Each structure stands twice: as structure tokens, then as C-alpha cells.
Structure 1
Amino acid sequence: MVAGSVVEECKSTVALGRLWKAGILDVHNLMPRLAPEHISSVEIGGGDGGVGTIKKFNFTDAVKLPANFVKDRVDVLDNEKHVFKYSVVEGGLLGVRLKSYSFDHKFEAASDGSTVGKVILEYETLDDTDLSEEEKGLLMGAVLGMMKAVEGFLLANPDAYA
């Protein structure tokens, strides 16, 4: 088994509060609308949105993963520090290529009113080979792509999540 991590930093011109509300707290409602070509639906399998909540993201045939869904469990949701962490508990590359993987999002307001974010992917492979750059890109690209879709929506709809 190989344990590893990938860190990506990103910046958005959208204010922290709006990005947090839309991209973290309401992402399950937004993503099927913003990316219907990739996400057909999102189901809440228990919980109130906080720690312990299970969210199942169902993919369309356009998403080329071994499973046609990813089921996440919310591990940390800190609305004051703007920290969100979740673990994949079923689907995606779990059980196929990875023993475990999780994502940690941390957001801060910049002095100019924009938002600076950091996304950390932590994983453990099933075998003794590390993830390829393509596999890392697939996992991080999906998460960062969702955030970019939310940012685009918020920029186009300045009154949304205000």
C-alpha cells in the first residue's frame, strides 16, 4: 500500500460566505443543475448535512469511473473556520484502485474580498504502486471542476446565496 496526498490551491473572486454556502452547504442541490452532463442526481442517505451525513453523487455515462457513483461521508464541517472534510465510503476508485481516500477543503477570505482555497486529497492505494498523475488529475479535477462550476454560477447570479 502507498499512502499519498495531493494539494491544490485555488482563488476565486467570489466572497467566502457565498462560495461556502453554495459550494459546500448546498452543493448537493446545485451540481445536478450545473453539471447535468456529469451528475444525474445526488441523494442524501442520512444526516442533516452535518458530520456523519452520507451523500451519493450519481454519475452519467460521461464519467469514466469503475462505479457510476461516489458515496461520501461528511467527517468535518466547521462553518466558522470554513473547513470541510469528507471521506469516500463507496464507489469511485474505492476498492478498485484505492483502499481509502478523502478530501479536505479549507477556505479563507482574502483582503480584497476574494476567497483563497486549498483542497487536499489524501489516499491509500490497494497495492504497492502510487496513483498515476492521470489518476490524481482525475480525482482532483472532479473536485476542482465542481468548485469552478459553482463559482461560474455565482458570478452569473450575483444575488444567489447572498
Structure 2
Amino acid sequence: MGQAPDLDPKTQFRELYVREYPSVFRSVRAMVLDSATAEDLTQEAFVRAYRAREKYRPSGPPGAWLHRIAVNVAISYLRRQKLSRIIAPKLLAGPYLGDYGRVEAKTVLERALARLSPKVRAAVVLHYYHGYTRDEVAKALGIPSGTVASRIAKAMAVMRVELVGSEQKLEAARSER
């Protein structure tokens, strides 16, 4: 995060949009597990950021500010949709593009991510998908660094159980052949 020069959201919003859209979209997509919904929510996040651009105070990079807005939009959406009740049909809806091994790995990972609360998932997405440090995640989410560490530790424990369970099921299926 930080190699490109910081852009001022007040005067360079278009450039900021072009530079940050892919990263913000990936974060939202990883949280909501649906590309079409992620596109809508990413656009909503940028609209909110545009409307709030005059209130931007540079306490960190503008990309972190945008991610915070996007994560909040995604969390609000997930709360409204009660994602935990509808996640299984979405994961089983159909294959993604790519080879079977990648599809299986992505499905297993999405299932593991789906077990996390939206707030915990946001910390994981920013830290592991985007390479934010814990301090950067803390700034992006507006929470203490220690809270980020505990959310990531909790996420790893939950995901480890899901991933190990999926691996055991896969091994059992292979041995039945």
C-alpha cells in the first residue's frame, strides 16, 4: 500500500477512483462473495466517498480511507442480508472460470470466509488480500491495532477448522475412487 504518491480526494478524486477501484472491489468481493453485489457496493462506497471528500482528513493514505468506507458499506449490506442464511446456495450456484483445482480451492476458501463475521472478515481481507499491516488495517477500520490482532487470530482459528475439515472430506472422496 504506499508506493504510489498519495492523491488528494478533494482535488484528485477521479485519479484516486481509477487507482483504487480494483483494490476496493477485491476487498468488497471477498467480503460479500458475489461479484455483481460487490460491483454495486463498490460503486456505493465511491459515491459515499465522493460526497464526503471535503471532510477527508489525511490521518492515513486515501486508499485506507476508501477501504474503510467500502468495508462499512459491505458490513451494512451483510447485516441487512443476513448473509449467513444465504451463503450456502451462493457457493453451490455454479463454477467459477478456471480449472477445477482453483475452483475447489476458491470454494473452500469462500466457505471458510463465510464463517467469519463481517467485521472479522474485513480485517482478514485487508491484511491478507491487500497486504495491509495490522496498523494500516486498524486505521482503515477505525479500531485499535490490538483488536485487529485478535480478529485475525480468531479468523485463523475458525478458518483452520473449516479448511482442515474440507481437506479431510477431499481425502475421503479420493480414497473412495
Q: TM-score, normalised by structure 2?
A: 0.28
**More strand by proportion, 1 or 2?**
1
**More helix by proportion, 1 or 2?**
2
Q: Which has the larger radius of gyration?
A: 2
Q: TM-score, normalised by structure 1?
A: 0.30
